[in-house]
Amino acid sequence: MGLLDGKVAVVTGGGTGIGRAVSLGLAAAGARVVVNDYGVSVDGSQPSSEPANQVVSEIISKGGKALASPESVATMAGGRGVVEMALRELGGLDIVVCCAGILRERMIFNMTEEEWDAVVAVHLKGHFTVMRPATAHMREKKAGSIVTFTSTAGLEGSPGQPNYSAAKEGIVGLMRSTALAMAKYGVRCNAISPTADTRMTQRLPSERRGMATATPPEAIAPVVTFLASDRAAHITGQVIGVRGTEVTIFSHPAPLRTATRTEEWTAEALAESWDRTLGQDRLRRLDAMGIPWPPAAKESRA
């Protein structure tokens, strides 16, 4: 008996990298899987149905049941089509895992509108387009598990990926909103922040790539399988870090320090008291990237 016997799953971006490992892992645990993948390169070009087809063939060769979906989840029609395939062809929908993503890297001051829109459409909107019809079904069924994917770039920032970072942090907000909205229906929603060797991490600078490439995508799959199972029916609204054999629960944002006064604040009063009473919650990546802050004072010219 597998943890997911009798369940139906949809995996977006399920043809390569983490999505491929998740598709195979869910199938190995007994789920019937719709493997959705638009089949594009890392930047979102050159669509192909081959990645999804290959994963489906591998699942079937091991005795599982799977269907390939080449839809683009960047559109409402595409997301709806993936969900409808699961309902129509596999008879239900219990699990949604959103792994689809692309990269268009550029510093904020150089990024084009098209580069921004393309990444946000696949990552953030691509979660919504599938979750919208899936939650409608799960609400009626009063059961289901949704696993979203964020990133360290979203949680901590990434200087050359403003579009990707914004989308990935947006996914955390979408996850928490969905967890709150669906709790009374018995449906849970969580987010995974993975570290793994994928096409995306292989593009990182060598000093940042080492930790990721030491971790195979297959390390993420067992965590997804657990969260998708009934054994995790009590877990919702969590951001879960996965790096090799490490599994981490992240805290929810909460106030660190509060400053009050008997009269209204003025800018001058804040300037006098800020460093003493509030300070900052330092960006950890400033230190990790060796960026000095505050910047050195500029010399005045006579």
164 in catalytic set: yes
CA 231 vs. chain centroid, Å, equals 22
Q: Catalytic one among 38, 116, 149, 164?
A: 164
Q: What is the torsion angle, in degrees rounded to the nearest 10, for the CA atoms of residue 254, residue 146, residue 53 and residue 42? A: -20
What are 33's two structure tokens?
């899987």
Whether the bond into 294 is cis, omega within 30 of 0:
yes
Rounded (5°) CA angle 48-52-58: 135
Neighbours of 43 (CB within 10 A): 14
Number of helical (H) and strand (E) elements in the chain, helices listed first: 11, 8
Q: 155 forms bridges with which residues in the sheet?
A: none
And the tokens for 203?
């593009």
Q: How far is CA 80 from CA 33, 86, 220, 241, in A?
A: 16, 10, 26, 29
Rounded (10°) angle between helices 17-28 and 221-228: 50
**Catalytically active residues, by annotation:** 164
